[in-house]
Structures are given as structure tokens and as C-alpha cells.
Structure 1
Amino acid sequence: MKKAEIKLQIELDDKNVPETIQWSSTDGQTAEELPAKALFLALWDAQYKNSLRIDLWTKDMPYDEMKRFFYETLQTMGDSFLRSSGGDPMAEKIIADLRDYCAHYADKMEILEQQN
């Protein structure tokens, strides 16, 4: 069995606000720590049937990048759900609705122009 480790290192200020976020993975092409400005980590607790999550962003995460981060996270959550659904037609319909919402979000947050 293969194992991999993902390491997160968060440097906090005196008010517990993230100053820096570094991450590394033993399964990546390099084991060096890489910087990040934000992270969303979600875990499923099977015992209590709910999600556990950590949302962090650094003080210097620009608002325009945060808007884009949310957009891309919503899009990739849809991709993940489709892969896990095993071809369920209802899942495909729901994800089509999510894609419509993502397009609406991108329009309202004016991030479509920023992608080019």
C-alpha cells in the first residue's frame, strides 16, 4: 500500500491571523515547502455524518484573488462530485445548476475579465 503525507505549516500573528501558509506533499514532484495565500480543507466525519473544515487565508491575500479562489473551488467541487457520482443523471443535472451559479457568481464578482 502506498502512503502520502500532506504537510501544512501556518505562521500566525499575535491575534491568530495567518501571516504565511506553506504546504508540501510527499507524493508531489518536489518535497519542498510551497507558499499559499489561502486554503480550504474539508474532511468528512463518518461517525457524526458532517463535515469538518478549516478555512484560512493570509493577511495579504488580495480580495480579487479570493473571489477567484472561491469561483475555482466551487467549480472543482462540482468536478469532484461528478467523479464520485458514478454517472448518476441527477448529479449531472445538479452540477449543471452549480455551473450556472458559478457563471452568475463570476459575472457578479467581475472575475470573468480577469481570467483572460
Structure 2
Amino acid sequence: MSKTSTIKIQVGLDDNKVPETIEWSATDNKEERMIKAKGMMVSFWDSAEKAALRIDLWTKDMMVDEMADFFFQTMMTMADTYSRATPYKDQADDIRVFAKSFLKKFQEKQEAEGK
């Protein structure tokens, strides 16, 4: 018999339906509590439609620098996944190069704005 895992995501909304809290748990996680997060990106591949279905949420208290770090780390993880899943290591490296350039440009903008 195959094993299953359940992932639960709870999003608390304000009166304008803007996320205030994001919490998640998974049956395979050793934590027995909901884990807080400020942002999430979930993607599903619909092979029948050949389209990515996404849920992108972030809380209103997520800072811009946190968003930049989140995107950088997500892109680096995507590169790792692509490298493991395909024989095209060169394209995984392209993603990493872009992610590093993205973060560097963000940091330069922050410095120029005195942040």
C-alpha cells in the first residue's frame, strides 16, 4: 500500500480579504503544530491543459527585503530541482546566474535608496 501525506494551509484574512496570517502543517512533518509563514508559492502542473496552476500569497507585514530573499531562494531551489529532474545542468546554472543577478540588482536598489 502506498503512503499518503496531507498538507494543510490556513490563511487568516482581514476585512478586505488581504492575508494577515499564513500557517501550514504536513502529516510527514515532525512538528505537531501549525508553522507560521509570511509568504507562500504553490504550483501544480495540469498535464491535460499543459499549464501551471499557482497560488501566490503573502502577508501584509512581509517586508520588501523578505520578498526579494524569498524569490531568490525560490529560484535557487527551482534550479536545484530542475538539475535533479533533467539532464540539462546548463539551464539549471542559467537559473542560478539569473537569481544571483536578481538579488544583486535588488541590493543595489536598496543601497541607492539608503535602506
Tell me, yes or no, whether TM beats 0.5.
yes
Residue 80 (structure 1) aligns with: 81
Offset at residue 103 of structure 1 (A): 1.5
Residue 105 (structure 1) aligns with: 102
Once the two structures are superposed, residues 14-36 of structure 1 have per-residue CA deviations (whole angstroms, 9 ceiling, x without a partner) of 22110100100100112210100
**Unmatched runs of 5 consecutive residues or more in structure 2:** 109-115
Offset at residue 11 of structure 1 (A): 0.7
Offset at residue 102 of structure 1 (A): 1.3
Once the two structures are superposed, residues 29-63 of structure 1 have per-residue CA deviations (whole angstroms, 9 ceiling, x without a partner) of 12210100000000001110100000000010011
Give the TM-score, by structure 1 length.
Answer: 0.88
3-state SS, counterpart of residue 68 of structure 2 = helix
Pairing 1:1-116 to 2, within 5 Å after superposition:
1-85=2-86, 88=87, 91-110=88-107
3-state SS, counterpart of residue 107 of structure 2 = coil
Equivalent position amino acid for 1:107 in 2: K
Percent identical residues: 41
Give the number of equivalent residue pairs: 107
Equivalent position amino acid for 1:65 in 2: E
What is the CA RMSD across the aligned residues, in angstroms? 1.2
Give the TM-score, by structure 2 length.
Answer: 0.89
Aligned-partner Cα distance in 1 for 2:82–2:91: 10
**Unmatched runs of 5 consecutive residues or more in structure 1:** 112-116
